[in-house]
Amino acid sequence: MIPWIEGEEPFPPLTSALQHPNGLLAAGADLSPARLLAAYRQGIFPWYSADEPILWWSPDPRMVLIPSELKISRSLAKTLRNRGHEIRFDSAFEAVMEGCATRGAGHGATAKGTWITDEMRDAYLHLHKLGYAHSAETWIDGELAGGLYGVAIGRMFYGESMFTRVRDASKMAMVHLVQRLQQQGCGMIDCQMHTAHLASLGARAIPRSVFSHRLRELVDYAATPTKWITSNADSDVPA
């Protein structure tokens, strides 16, 4: 059994999360900005289907990508050198969420995009307007070809979902996102749960206790939430 939380009740300790299914911690509450930000600061995220109550998760181990450990394959590097794409940030946040919802993009592991309900979309659009949620986008011939979105707090970035309509488009967006975050002093990107897609870019699993310790250090850095501005350098090929 997991606890039901209401109003301003705090989340239970992460150590009380279930092993099966891995990381299920609590149910209930809402998706207000205050609740979501409190969850992310503790390493907790919402994930549920339209016919379920809000479910909160903190899996163990935790999949993360350290920006300095980014891996770019030869084939991806070749694609990145192709000047036929443009990288933008925060220019089409809602469209990226829609792409994730309708194209079967995974949330952390293998879940389909149907978990992005209207309630979820409205909640993250609100976070985006407040300057916490961001999108990285790959554009080809003026069309949105792929991208991802997530939440930034302090020197942490929490990846939520990604999608692609053109081969490697989401990976291209991810590479440029990592480059940008590294320039901003980001220490860790939360990938939530294992996917081969993210592992190919250098993401790895760490114990939840290690993740939580590092998280506390990174979220305490002061950083004013703001919309990200796309610069010409964002379309340059990362070194």
Which of 110, 109, 161 shows the shortest CA–CA distance to 136? 161
Q: Which CATH number fits domain 62-235: 3.40.50.2300, 3.40.190.10, 3.40.630.70, 1.20.1050.10?
A: 3.40.630.70
pLDDT tens, residue by residue, 179-230: 999 999 999 999 998 889 899 999 999 999 999 999 999 998 766 788 898 8
pLDDT score of 111 = 41
Q: Which structure tokens are listed for 29? A: 């509450």
Query: What is the average per-residue pLDDT within 101-118?
Result: 60
Say which residues have a Cβ less than 8 Å from residue 189's Cβ, sequence separation at least 6.
64, 65, 66, 67, 150, 156, 157, 158, 159, 178, 181, 203
> Average pLDDT over the chain, rounded to whole?
91
pLDDT score of 233 = 54
Q: Which of 15-29, 40-54, 98-112, 133-147 has the lowest mean pLDDT?
A: 98-112
**89, 229 contact by CB (below 8 A):** yes
CA distances (Å), origin 105, targets 113, 150, 161, 164: 5, 14, 7, 8
The percent of residues in the chain predicted with pLDDT above 90, rounded, is: 81
Domain ranges of the chain: 4-57, 62-235
Q: Which CATH number fits domain 4-57: 3.30.200.20, 3.50.50.60, 3.60.20.10, 3.30.70.3550?
A: 3.30.70.3550
Which of 230, 148, 128, 141 shows the shortest CA–CA distance to 197? 148
Query: What is the average per-residue pLDDT within 92-117?
Result: 71
Which DSSP letter does residue 163 get? E
CA distances (Å), origin 36, targets 45, 129, 144, 148: 8, 14, 27, 18
Query: What is the average per-residue pLDDT within 45-70?
Result: 96
Q: Is the pLDDT of residue 44 over 60?
A: yes
Q: Is the pLDDT of residue 239 over 80?
A: no
Identify the H or E element spanning 142.
Answer: none
Identical fold between 4-57 and 62-235: no
More confident residue, 110 or 171: 171
